[in-house]
Amino acid sequence: MEQSDPIINEREAAVLGLLCESPLYGYTIEKIIEERGMRHWTDIGFSSIYYVLKRLEAKMLITSSCEQQEDKPSRKVYTITEAGLDMMKCTVRSLLTLYTRISSPFDLGIAHLPLIPEQETVACLRERLAGLDKMIEHVRQIREQKADEKRPFYVLALFDRTLAHLDCEKKWVRKFIGEVEQHGSTTTL
């Protein structure tokens, strides 16, 4: 089954997906993103949530209404539309199906490796390994916390996938350190 690219971006999909669960306030969306550790696997900052909500509303994928509360200012509550639900289903199919190229600034460092001496390259790569170890420990702790909270298997899978990528990166960096030590820098410019 071939899927086309969705017409909503990653940030819009993150917010729209939360609104599939229930109508929410903008502030509540931020709290859910934080609570679920979504920033480990999606790029959505606090400052972009209201911008995303406006875009989704302009695309008629959500609606908003003001709720008046006693002794408090009114707040906007956002609700997904039928078109929004259809869009999100299409987006999920596409996201699960399509391969997306992963780009990393790390690749730029590798491309320009000859600019620094071998010993410095190895030191930098060893520092990267230490950083990967810290990140792995951090993600493992969050994953354990989510498991203790009895989160669904697919929520835990998000952390497991991140851990798999980090473990793979560690193995690759170790191998690359060996190659740098064996071949040295081709030329220091």
Per-residue pLDDT of the chain (189 residues; tens, 9 = 90+): 444 555 799 999 999 999 999 999 999 999 999 888 888 778 888 888 999 999 999 999 999 999 887 777 888 999 999 999 999 999 999 999 988 888 889 999 999 999 999 999 999 999 999 999 999 999 999 999 999 999 899 989 999 999 999 999 999 999 999 999 998 765 555
DSSP-assigned beta bridge partners for residue 24: 78
Q: How far apart are CA 25 and CA 50, in angstroms?
A: 10
- The strand order across the sheet containing 72-80 reads 24-25, 72-80, 62-69
What radius of gyration do the chain's Cα atoms show?
22
pTM of the model: 0.78
CA distance 131 to 137: 10
CATH topology of domain 10-97: Arc Repressor Mutant, subunit A (1.10.10)
What ranges do the domains of the chain cover? 10-97, 105-183
Provide the 10 A C-beta neighbour count for residue 14.
22
